[in-house]
Structure 1
Amino acid sequence: MSRARSTRKLTRIQREKRRAIFEAALDVFSEQGLRGATLEQIATASGLSKQNIIYYFDGKEAIYSELLGGLLETWIAPLRELSAEGEPLEEILTYMRRKLEMSRSMPRESRLFATEILRGAPLLDEILHDGLRKLVDEKAQVIAAWAAAGRIAPIDPHHLIFSVWSMTQHYADFDLQVCAVLGEARSAGRFGEAEAFLTT
């Protein structure tokens, strides 16, 4: 649980320190996972003392929980924007491009989310089974309606969404592998190549 007092507005310095803690924790958690991370590592990475970290948060679990809560909302935002009123192909491609851009610009966040899923998602279980499932079902109905109307080819909408996730997030979660396989010459353009391929 965060020690930040919800009834008291944080000062500018307190907000800056919390941002520094979150930024450092994101680095540490995305590399070490929750179990491997320590408050000492977060303190060192943030440039703050361990006591300063403890002033704001009850422990590393509290930092991790807040990070994940904000991350999930960011992660699903592009799916929320998929519109039934739009042109189906453009809506699907826009969703894919937004997810790929998130992998390019937010690789640590992607790895943090993937790590949480791999450890059984104990902190996200309720959100995944309620909020995320409801949103995916809603957007799957939109895609299914497009297919039923002949606007796109018949396709399983849930597996289409899963495919977008796997094809885009791979470039964040397995970036080291992607770069090793492509080699130095092609690695710099990997996201542009990926977008062209996935669009086709």
Structure 2
Amino acid sequence: MAQDATKKSGKRSQAVSAKKQAILSAALNTFSQYGIHGTRLEQVAELAGVSKTNLLYYYPSKEALYVAVMRQILAIWLAPLKAFREDLAPLVAIREYIRLKLEVSRDYPQASRLFCLEMLQGAPLLMNELTGDLKALVEAKSAIIAAWVNAGKLAPVDPHHLIFMIWATTQHYADFATQVEAVTGATLQDEAFFQRTVDNVQQMIIEGIRVR
């Protein structure tokens, strides 16, 4: 009996998790197209295949749903920076970070565009996360870069501006994907174009920070 109850509880937990993820995926799709003000919860519920009442059970307001989506995006967006490793050679670590950031732009373009939209609006619903976890992580990784600079392993650059440059360059391919495709006729989904993008972005940034 206990085993049956445990199995049923596990199945319910999986079902709830799947339903919440379906809602978050539908919300990302809708918010990235229409923004928070142009999105209706009815749209999200229909796309997720749930009732509006069911959606509101898990996320009690549109703002709560939006913040949940943004927190999920932030986790995806920060994963490459969290993986930034002090034990690697500096140029190897930065090359890898650039590649991982471009993979995020390739694999999660909607998330990147919605994050960009939130920043352009002044991040009214995400400021606590930006000044908390994001700031702490950036400071920790900036300290690693600063130590490399002080040890003469990198050219003298400001760690914050290096990170900002990598963000701006790599996210361009998601946030302005339409423009990139119009000019080049390709997107990051094209493996050859993706690899050329990685190679070129790595080369331009690495050559700027290499010790002369």
Using structure 2 for the length normalisation, give the TM-score. 0.83
Cα distance in 2 between the residues matched to 1:26 and 1:81: 25
- Percentage of identical aligned residues: 44
Cα distance in 2 between the residues matched to 1:142 and 1:58: 41
When residues 131 and 13 of structure 1 are mapped into structure 2, their CA distance, relative to the original with a 3 A threshold, is closer
One-letter code of the match for 1:197? N
Tell me if structure 2 keeps the 8 A contact 1:39–1:50.
yes
When residues 20 and 155 of structure 1 are mapped into structure 2, their CA distance, relative to the original with a 3 A threshold, is same
Cα distance in 1 between the residues matched to 2:57 and 2:149: 54
Tell me if structure 2 keeps the 8 A contact 1:34–1:64.
yes
1:199 and 2:202 are equivalent in the alignment: yes
3-state SS, counterpart of residue 87 of structure 2? coil
Structure 1 residue 51, shift from structure 2 partner: 2.5
Cα distance in 2 between the residues matched to 1:106 and 1:186: 11
Q: Deviations over 1:149-169 (max 9, x none)?
A: 111211111110001101111
1:161 and 2:163 are equivalent in the alignment: yes
Counterparts of 1:1-200 in structure 2 under 5 Å? 11-183=13-185, 188=190, 189-200=192-203
Cα distance in 2 between the residues matched to 1:13 and 1:143: 43
Q: Which moved more, 1:92-101 or 1:148-157?
A: 148-157
One-letter code of the match for 2:116? A
One-letter code of the match for 2:119? I
Cα distance in 2 between the residues matched to 1:87 and 1:49: 52
3-state SS, counterpart of residue 95 of structure 2? helix
Structure 1 residue 185, shift from structure 2 partner: 9.6
Q: Deviations over 1:34-89 (max 9, x none)?
A: 11111111122112222222232212211111111222122112112222221000
When residues 48 and 176 of structure 1 are mapped into structure 2, their CA distance, relative to the original with a 3 A threshold, is same
Tell me if structure 2 keeps the 8 A contact 1:110–1:172.
yes
Q: How many residues align?
A: 193
Cα distance in 1 between the residues matched to 2:101 and 2:76: 11
Cα distance in 2 between the residues matched to 1:130 and 1:186: 31
3-state SS, counterpart of residue 79 of structure 1? helix
- Cα RMSD of the aligned pairs, angstroms, is 2.1
3-state SS, counterpart of residue 18 of structure 1? helix
Larger Rg: 2
One-letter code of the match for 1:67? V
One-letter code of the match for 1:194? T
Cα distance in 2 between the residues matched to 1:161 and 1:186: 21
Cα distance in 2 between the residues matched to 1:20 and 1:63: 12
3-state SS, counterpart of residue 154 of structure 2? coil
Structure 1 residue 194, shift from structure 2 partner: 1.0
Cα distance in 2 between the residues matched to 1:108 and 1:55: 25
Tell me if structure 1 keeps the 8 A contact 2:106–2:188.
no
One-letter code of the match for 1:190? F
